[in-house]
Amino acid sequence: MGDYRIVTDSTADLPQELVDKLDVTVIPMAFKIGEDSYLDYPDEHELASHDFYKRIAAGEEASTTQISIAAFSDTFEQYLKEGLDVLYIGFSSGLSGTYNNSVITAKDLREKYPERKIITVDSLAASMGEGLLVYYAVMHKRSGAGLEDVAKWIESNRNRLHHWFTVDDLNHLKRGGRISGTSALVGTMLGIKPVLHFDDSGHIILMQKIRGRKQSLNTLVEHMEQTAENPSEQTIFISHSDSLEAAGYVEKQVKEKFGVSKTAIAPIGPVIGVHTGTGTVALFYLGNDRGSGSA
């Protein structure tokens, strides 16, 4: 069985410490804020997420750029030349054209390296939801699973990967076309916090509008109670955009309610943060098939 390298992108929001533990490769995605352009590295050495959110809060405009075919080719070839196969786990195709670029790259490189295997898998996920699939891929690899088996596991289980998240500022969702301007205005006036989820196509869907910040956080945990399978045996990921205290609150609830012992909390990086703004808290776990997102 040939050895292989697991590759993902920075939208998985895996912090450098976890990247090192998992021994995976992360391709940085580009973003721009104001007149400045950066690459979104796990160690945040170009721009720390906290500083990014300070600039967003100050009103600076931000945008992102999908990973180019050239960037994919450079990364994949690095391992193909070493005699390794490649498994790429990518950002949801429902949110970006990045995954399609990986497919084009893989097709080209298979012709150049016919003896090597290159498999790309659409995570249909984002942030630490994508990161959690990468985590499980590594766990399966370390248990002896081959490239094809790990890819099949992800494809079979990606729609069991639940993303429940709430945002504090509705205006970023409005700019991203997730909700109407009227909904954003009315929601902000009434203190309404949306609770969102991913459907089976990897698109974000608005599930509920909850009154009050704390209740919206409690709602994330309630959905986990309704949909998670054997939560005490799972590793649970929580991500946040400059809201560590709120993420810690959700972690505490999850541990107390479900007996969860393994959790990880990490910041939402700038590429995802462009579309969520500050104050986002997201909860990721395995459960029943998420379907349309109903519990």
User: pLDDT, tens digit, for every residue of 83-124?
Assistant: 999 999 999 999 999 999 999 999 999 999 999 999 999 999
Judge if pTM exceeds 0.85: yes
Every domain of the chain and the residues it spans: 4-158, 160-286
Cβ atoms of 45 and 16 closer than 8 Å? no
**Using one digit for the tens of pLDDT, what is the confidence trace for 145-171?**
999 999 999 999 999 999 999 988 767
pLDDT at 184: 60
CA distance 104 to 67: 12
CA distance 278 to 35: 20
In CATH, which of 2.60.40.290, 3.40.190.10, 3.90.950.20, 3.40.50.10170 is domain 4-158? 3.40.50.10170
CA distance 115 to 187: 56
**Residue type, position 217, single letter:** L
160-286: CATH topology is Hypothetical Protein Tm841; Chain: A;domain 3 (3.30.1180)
Q: What one-character-per-residue DSSP string does 239-255 give?
A: EESS-HHHHHHHHHHHH
CA distance 228 to 291: 14
The pLDDT tens digits along the chain (295 residues) read 579 999 999 999 999 999 999 999 999 999 999 999 999 999 999 999 999 999 999 999 999 999 999 999 999 999 999 999 999 999 999 999 999 999 999 999 999 999 999 999 999 999 999 999 999 999 999 999 999 999 999 999 999 999 999 988 767 766 666 556 666 665 666 788 889 999 999 988 888 989 999 999 999 999 999 999 999 999 999 999 999 999 999 999 999 999 999 999 999 999 999 988 899 999 999 999 986 444 4
Q: Which residue has the tokens 């609150």?
A: 249
